[in-house]
Structure 1
Amino acid sequence: MTRLLGLLALFSLLTGCASGLINPNGYDETGTASYYGSRHHGKKTASGEPFNQHALTAAHRQLPFGTRVKVTNLDNDNWVVVRINDRGPHTSGRLIDLSREAAEQLGMLRSGTARVRVQAMSN
């Protein structure tokens, strides 16, 4: 019985590591944000829901789907809360990919990218 419990614990640990997801509690990172819009509008996201460029959503490589994060544009202090519903960005050096609506609220449509702080919100 002890051996079985040990194997189950090991299996749980390995499957948790294999998923690549991180615990959002206390998540606070600074990096570059980009956005995606009309070209992807209506296409299925990694979470299975259709992408809506007018919604406040974002793509992140490791935060669980459904995680709400506050994204602050470090150049102008504008901020927005978005929900993670996709995987990405798929460009090296980027921290988060935002919907067009989120990018507009952050004031980064013209530049296409912005230096941002991403903080997970507590549920």
Structure 2
Amino acid sequence: MPLYAGAYDQTGKACWYGPRLHGRVTASGQIFNQHKLTAAHPELPFGTRALVTNLDNNRAVRVTINDRGPHVGGCMIDVSRAAAKRLGMTERGVTRVRIQAAPR
């Protein structure tokens, strides 16, 4: 499980994506599966395992970065539908999060 080469700890907004892109090829070359715990991030290397915490309800999930994005203004990470469910954010669509990736 690759981790980010340097410590990463940021807060911002998360969005989620799922049905529309399910089955399509991600930027890493993997097939996107909305039922897996994955995410899109603009700079974390593919394969990075990141802890995403919903700052509104303190629910957290570990995701693997396998895509680039988000492509929605104001969001710093796009999580899969499965990750969004674990974070309790599917209704709102956007929520405040903390993203942490430990150095390898």
Q: Which amino acid aligns with 1:114?
A: T
Higher helix share: 1
Q: 1:80 aligns with which of 61, 74, 81?
A: 61
The structure with the larger Rg is 1
Residue 73 of structure 2 corresponds to 92
1:106 paired to 2:87: yes
2:12 and 2:29 map into 1 onto residues whose CA distance is 26
Contact 1:26 1:120 in 2 (8 A): yes
Distance in 2 separating the partners of 1:48 and 1:78: 29
What is the identity percentage for the equivalent residue pairs of Structure 1 and Structure 2? 59
Change over 3 Å in CA distance of 1:24–1:112 after alignment to 2: farther
The equivalent of 1:115 in structure 2 is 96
Q: Aligned partners of 1:27, 1:48: CA distance in 2, in Å?
A: 24
1:101 shift after superposition: 0.2
RMSD: 1.1
Letter paired with 1:99: S
Q: Structure 2 length as normaliser, TM-score?
A: 0.93
Superposed CA deviations along residues 3-22 of structure 1, whole A, max 9, x for unmatched, are xxxxxxxxxxxxxxxxxxxx
Asked if the contact 1:57/1:99 (under 8 Å) is kept, the reply is yes
Q: Which runs of 5+ in 2 are unaligned?
A: none
Aligned to 2:42: 61
State the 4+ residue runs in structure 1 displaced beyond 3 angstroms.
none
- The Cα of 1:122 is off from its aligned counterpart by 4.3
Q: Which structure carries more relative contact order (alpha carbon 8 Å, separation 6+)?
A: 2
1:77 alignment partner AA: N
Q: Which runs of 5+ in 1 are unaligned?
A: 1-22
TM-score by length of 1: 0.79
- Please state which structure has a larger fraction of its residues in strand: 2
